[in-house]
Amino acid sequence: MKVDPITLEPDMLGSPTSVQDASRHASEPTAGQIVHSLVIVGFTHPMRACAWRARSAGVRVHLIELVERSRSFVLQSNAFDPDGITLEWSLVGTENGLAAIQRFAQSVQADALLTTDDFTLVWLGKHRGVFEPGCRLLAPDPDVLERLWDKSHQIDRAILSGFELLPGWTLTAQEVIAAIPDGAFPVVIRPSFLQSAQPSFKARILHTRKALSELYSSTHWTYSPIVQRFCLGPNYVLHGVRAQTGELLALQLFKGYRKYEGFATSLMPVPLPESLSRAARRFVEAEGLTGPFHFDLLCSDADDTFYFLEINCRLGGTTGKVMQLGYDEPGLLLACFNTQTPHPLPPLRIYPRTTSIGLNLAQAFNELRNRRDPLAYPQMPRFRSFFAALSEALFVKDGQLDKRDLLAILRRYFARNEN
C-alpha cells in the first residue's frame, strides 16, 4: 500500500509541532527489549543486510520505502515482509510524514525502528517520544549527529583526538585558493556539509590551481568546501559500536584494497594499530557518540601513514561487506541500544575478502570505454585494470548483493519499464 500525501503545510525539521511536544515527555524504553517486529525506513544495501540478519533470528522486518512522487511501488525483496509502504521524500521532515510512520509502526506492532539516511535519523531522533517506549528508535542523540554533519567540526575533533590529517584548507574565498602552495597540487575538494554543493558531488581531484578556481566559482556553496592534498593509497574503514552505557562494544579495521568512484570496492580485515584505536576512542567519547559508526581513513603508499577523512555515525555502504568478514554490525547495533532478537543470532559465514560485483563490473566496463576514474585504487594500465576488476567480480564474495534480491529487483524494474 501507499501513504497518500496529506494537504497540510509541511512542518520542517526542528520547528514546533504538537508531535514534537510529545517527545519531550518520553519515558525511557524498557531495558533488554525483545524485538519481534522491526520497521526499516529506506531501501539501501545496509538496510537489506540488517533485514536479512534480523530475519535469521526470528524478527519480522517491514519496509517503509522512501520514494520520489513519480515512483509509487514498493521494491520486492525477500529480506522484508510483503506489507511495506512507500513514503514520499517531500513528507520527510514533516508532521504528516511522522504521523504516517507512526501509524505504520503501530499497524505492524513494531518494537524497533531503524534508518540510515542522515536527515531522517536526526528528524526521527528529535521525535523519538512519538514511538518510545513501545517502539525503540535505534538512533543516537540527534544533537550529536547534527554537530558531526559539519566536516570542519569533524576535522577539529580529529586533530584533538590524535588522528593524522592531510594538509588542507577551508575555501572561504578565492584568496584561499591563491594561497595554496604549488607543491600541494593535485588536490581533492569535498563538500563540508550535507547537500552543500550544487551541482552535487562527493569528491573531485583537481590538478591545477586554475581548475580548482573554476570549479569553486561555478558551484553554488551553502557551506565552505574542504580541500586536501591528493594522496594515492588504499582506503581503510574503522568500524565501531558504542553502547548507550558508554562501553565500546567493538572496534575493527578493514582495508579497502580496491576502491572505485570514491567507494571501498573490496575489503579485508587487518590488525588495528594502537594509535588508531586510541584516537577513535577519544573521538567518540568526546563527542558523546553512541550506536554504530565508521571512520573513513586513507593510507599513503609513500609513508604508510593513516589519514583521517571523515566519520559516519550510522550503518553504511560497507555494512554488508564487513558482515561477510565476521563483523556482526546489525547484531552489535541491537546490543548497543539494549535490545535483542527473539532467537540467538546464527553464526556468520566468514570470508577472507569481500567485494562489490556492481562496482567492479562498472569499472571493467568503463575501462573498456577508456573512461578512467582518477580516484580509483590501485591505478593500473587500462587493460590490466579491466581484467583485475573482472576477476574480482567473478571470484571474490559479494558482501552486499543477495542474488534472490537482485533477480526480484531486476524483474520488477524491467516489468515497470515495459509498460
| C-alpha distances in Å from residue 403, one per residue of 9, 94, 328 | 42, 36, 21
Q: How high is the pLDDT of residue 27?
A: 34
Which amino acid appears at position 228 of this protein? Answer: Q
| C-alpha distances in Å from residue 324, one per residue of 260, 357, 358, 384 | 20, 14, 17, 27
Rounded Cα distance, 297 and 408, in Å: 35
Rounded Cα distance, 412 and 291, in Å: 34
Rounded Cα distance, 380 and 367, in Å: 11
| In contact, 324 and 399? CB cutoff 8 Å | yes
Cell output for 43: 531501501
CATH architecture designation of domain 29-140: 3-Layer(aba) Sandwich (3.40)
Do the two domains 29-140 and 167-229 of this chain adopt the same fold? Answer: no
Rounded Cα distance, 28 and 410, in Å: 43
Q: Average of pLDDT values for 46-55?
A: 93
Does 394 score more than 70 pLDDT?
A: yes
Q: DSSP of 4-54, one letter per residue?
A: PP--SPP--TTS--HHHHHHTTPPPPPTTEE-SEEEEES--HHHHHHHHHH
SS3 115: strand
Q: Average of pLDDT values for 341-357?
A: 93
Q: 3-state DSSP: the chain helix, strand, coil percent, rounded to 5?
A: 35, 25, 40
Q: According to the per-residue pLDDT averaged within each range, which of 117-121, 238-242, 415-419 is highest? A: 238-242
Which has the closest alpha carbon to 172: 164, 161, 180, 184? 180
Higher per-residue pLDDT: 394 or 221:
221
Which has the closest alpha carbon to 308: 143, 118, 157, 188? 157
Does 419 score more than 70 pLDDT?
A: no
Q: Could you tell me whether strands 339-340 and 168-170 are parallel, antiparallel, or unpaired per DSSP bridges?
A: unpaired
Rounded Cα distance, 91 and 86, in Å: 11
| In contact, 258 and 399? CB cutoff 8 Å | no
Rounded Cα distance, 162 and 160, in Å: 6
Question: How confident is the model over 224-255, as pLDDT tens digits?
Answer: 999 999 988 899 999 999 999 999 999 999 99
Q: How far apart are the first and last CA of the chain?
A: 20
CATH domain 167-229 topology: Dna Ligase; domain 1 (3.30.1490)
Which amino acid appears at position 149 of this protein? Answer: W
Q: Domain ranges in the chain?
A: 29-140, 167-229, 357-418
Q: What is the DSSP letter of 242?
A: E
Rounded Cα distance, 258 and 385, in Å: 11
Least confident of 237-241, 320-324, 396-400: 396-400
Rounded Cα distance, 76 and 98, in Å: 24
Question: How confident is the model over 96-113, as pLDDT tens digits?
Answer: 999 999 999 999 999 999
Q: How high is the pLDDT of residue 232?
A: 83
Question: How confident is the model over 58-68, as pLDDT tens digits?
Answer: 999 999 999 88
| C-alpha distances in Å from residue 64, one per residue of 54, 103, 113, 283, 296 | 16, 12, 10, 33, 28
Q: Average of pLDDT values for 193-206?
A: 89
Residue 365's CB is within 10 A of a number of other CB atoms, namely 13
